[in-house]
Amino acid sequence: MHPPQPAFAFKFPGTLWRVVANPAGTLLVAEILEEGAQRKHFAAVDLIAGKLLWQQWTPETPGLAQAAALHGQTLYVQTFSAGSLPQPGALIAVDVPTRAVIWQRTGASWSGITEEGITAWELGYERIRHVLLHPENGLVRREISPAETAVAGASAGDSGRYPVHYAAGNPHTESIARFIGNRLDVTPVPAFDYAEKENVLVISYYLYQANQYDNFLAVFDRKGLPLWGQKIAGALPGTGLNTFLTTDNLLIFVQEKKQLLGYVL
């Protein structure tokens, strides 16, 4: 069950904190926390070419930053002030191919994205204002209701890219545990990330030993026969979710928080 050669493999100088892909599955952005640093840096990958576009970019705005979403070719970065009670700093739109800042809106906080534009909220002196922003320039198109903001936030992001998570108590979890046990001769913890693709099944599972958790990834054909698998993280304090993501033809995951790997499905 040795894995095939990856389509791409990138190591970064720090801990891979989070990765996001656009809905089309053509671009990916990774958040990287460098050793001893307080700020995250970002790296971008062209998933079609399997090419690293750039790395070690961080917004000039002071404070903490995170990738709010990647939509089309635009990365939306949310910044926060430092301190024990971080406050929204700015919402920044970045063109991924060129790494150029398209626009920046100070005081705005990301909510989601709709066909009309970007939904955000801004903290005013008297109330929180919910707004719809133009995706090309960040200007306010109109004020919206909190309900519209919530709907946009729920439907935005990487829907369909991340696997379904099954935890203890879910009626399907026991079936997946039996499947893994029978196919791989192991006793997994009842916590799985599961994805079905056209030709394969991908399952992330955990083994508990020596008071710690080890995370493994297994790929099966549609008949349930194991194709390949590997350990992707060890000595963990607990289980997690969103341990991998998929595009139409790629399986992407982070190994030991250091390396970004992509395999053709």
Q: What is the CA angle 248-245-229, rounded to 5? A: 95
Q: Which of 77-86, 87-96, 173-182 has the lowest mean pLDDT?
A: 77-86
Q: Is the pTM of this model over 0.95?
A: no
DSSP secondary structure string, the chain?
------SEEEE-SSEEEEEEE-TTSSEEEEEEE-TT-SSEEEEEEETTTTEEEEEEE--SSSSEEEEEEEETTEEEEEEE-SSSS--EEEEEEEETTTTEEEEEEETEEEEEE-SS-EEEEEE-SSSEEEEEE-TTT--EEEE--HHHHHHHHHH-S-TTTSPEEEETT-TTHHHHHHHHHHHH-----SEEEEEE-SSEEEEEEEEEETTEEEEEEEEEETTS-EEEEEEEEEEESS--S--EEE-SSEEEEEETTTEEEEEE-
Averaged over 163-189, what is the pLDDT? 96
Query: What domains, with CATH codes, occur in the chain?
Result: 8-155 (2.40.128.630), 164-246 (no CATH)
- 158: pLDDT strictly greater than 70: no
Identify residue 133 by its one-letter amino acid code: L
Report the b/e string of 202-226 with b at 16+ CB within 10 A. Answer: bbbbbbeeeeebbbbbbbbeeeeee
Q: What digits encode the pLDDT tens for the residues 98-142?
A: 999 999 999 999 999 988 899 999 986 677 899 999 999 999 999
Q: What digits encode the pLDDT tens for the residues 194-220?
A: 999 999 999 999 999 999 999 999 999
